Structure 1
């Protein structure tokens, strides 16, 4: 089945090559649907630019055109009137560089014209993590014995107790949970599977939901987490669950499902877990991605040291 080019991508000239590249990403590299959707959006912006400057075939693009494209991106504004973040520009440039590398590898162009184009770099930002006490407040927020409070409590416990991405949690089916071994079979990016353990409190919440809550909603799907109508809980629905309970307990910072994943990783490392073990639990392809959480731990240690040690700061 062919991956459609987004409507924003004109179909004239050689631009259907963008669709061919998306087919390659899906079939050869096995990228997850969410990742493919991101590539579609980013390549659509590239197609907008090519149409604006009158280039009908990407095989005619020169390195100078791509450098001008980066400048064009930096001058763009979001719907809210803000400039694109450096990370967003970098992501789009990576997609476009991959496309031109594909054209060269397939023999459709003589050279990879994107090779000399550098990816904009942004300052390395640290993930947001809640304190252990704030996590406890959030996880205790759902109250009552009805189906939805039980579901919310189980969802929050699983997100934090297993460090799942929101898409991984909402994709869980009943067969993916092993209550005896307390393991979840998780399908991560690129449809890669991993087994993730979960602890006592997550097990209690999950059992209370699956036995005493979920059946009351007359589920029509095999999903672990369902909505009030019995369908699979969506990512947007799960975001509302997390954000709603965070607001309810007065957490000042914006809290998302990914905040719980960040907190999971940070608290494990603070507790002495090996970074490679945390990498496996998170499903990161590279340990480099996981190591950013060690920066969070070092920052916390530095703050404690500077507050507590009498010689940490020179008296002013």
Structure 2
């Protein structure tokens, strides 16, 4: 089987058979198309027509070396290696190669940067500003307040918020049911402030936004059906998209000092750190975040320890 056909088969398998997230599938596609383009540049006569059985460890290493020479981050290279290993494993399972050619690749260790975390006061200011804007009665301001409250209350990923349906929202028990990475379902609780903001949005803003979707589609069709099921809607009345949430969170955080990203993940990092600072069990936080590995959650203990060390140095006379 040639490389191009094998890549198409692998991407179809991870998307439809294995149920990988759209983000993972996009990353796999980007990496493998880059690898195919590299082979084509190295051997224009073969390129994507290269038989996968002839791709050896040297070719994989050469591509990774070229990526490193471009100055790509260690985290990107680590993802490239993971892509090759998954692709190689799939090839081996389907007996397209005698053995996984990527099995001997070593994953570069990327230095783990501590995530940006807001202080309690900063979160309060962000949410207070959102509440003030919501009092104007503007449907988008009311929606934005509910979104910010829910992001901080639940530490959801942005993709999980985009995919949140009314059927997954339990307003009595104050929980949301979401589909996370690897199509894993989990239930996450939220508190009274988020519940109040959501009730205000669902009663006063969402019906107006949904009317915009009905007007645009004539009240029927897949677009309107998707909007009718979604909790959060865009200005046009469609299901809200990730880039729209990134933009509104960035606006909400732009007045708060501090380096680092200003997207929805900042609120996810902040919520997790504040939970641990408040005494929550690490395993509970792991379940709430939807992490498959406890190591992913432990980074927030480092954030807490780092802040403790800073406070110690500032306050202790013998520091």
The two structures have a TM-score, normalised by structure 1, of 0.89
Partner residue of 1:89 out of 69, 77, 97: 77
CA contact (8 A) 2:154 2:271 kept: yes
- Residue 289 of structure 1 and its aligned partner are, at CA, apart by 0.9
1:229-268 deviation digits (Å, cap 9, x = unpaired): 2111111111111111222x34443411010000010100
Aligned positions of 1:168-207 closer than 5 A: 168-207=160-199
Alignment partners' CA distance in 1, 2:40 and 2:51: 9
- State the partner residue of 1:227: 234
Q: Give the Å deviation of 1:104.
A: 2.2
1:274 paired with 2:281, answer yes
Provide the alpha-carbon RMSD of the alignment.
Answer: 1.6
2 CA distance for matches of 1:139 and 1:168? 21
1:126 and 2:133 are equivalent in the alignment: no
Confirm or deny: 8 A CA contact 1:14 1:59 kept in the other structure: no
Where is the helix percentage greater, Structure 1 or Structure 2?
Answer: 2
Q: What residue number does 1:284 align with?
A: 291
* Match of residue 42, structure 1, among 21, 24, 31: 31
Question: Displacement, 1:46?
Answer: 1.1
CA change 1:188–1:278 in 2 (3 A) is same
1:69 has 2:63 as partner: yes
The aligned length equals 294
- Given that 2:273 and 2:300 are in contact with CA atoms closer than 8 Å, whether structure 1 keeps it comes out as yes
CA contact (8 A) 2:92 2:99 kept: yes
Give me the whole-angstrom Cα distance separating, in 2, the residues matched to 1:17 and 1:74: 25
Structure 1: which 5+ runs fail to align? 1-11, 77-82
| TM-score, reference length from structure 2 | 0.88
Q: In the aligned structure 1, how far is the partner of 2:51 from the partner of 2:67? A: 20
User: Matched residues in 2 for 1:146 and 1:30: separation?
Assistant: 38
Tell me, which stretches of 5 or more residues in structure 2 are unaligned? 214-223
Aligned partner of 2:314 among 307, 311, 314 = 307
Q: Are 2:272 and 2:300, in contact at CA under 8 Å, matched by a contact in 1?
A: yes
The residue aligned with 1:80 is: none
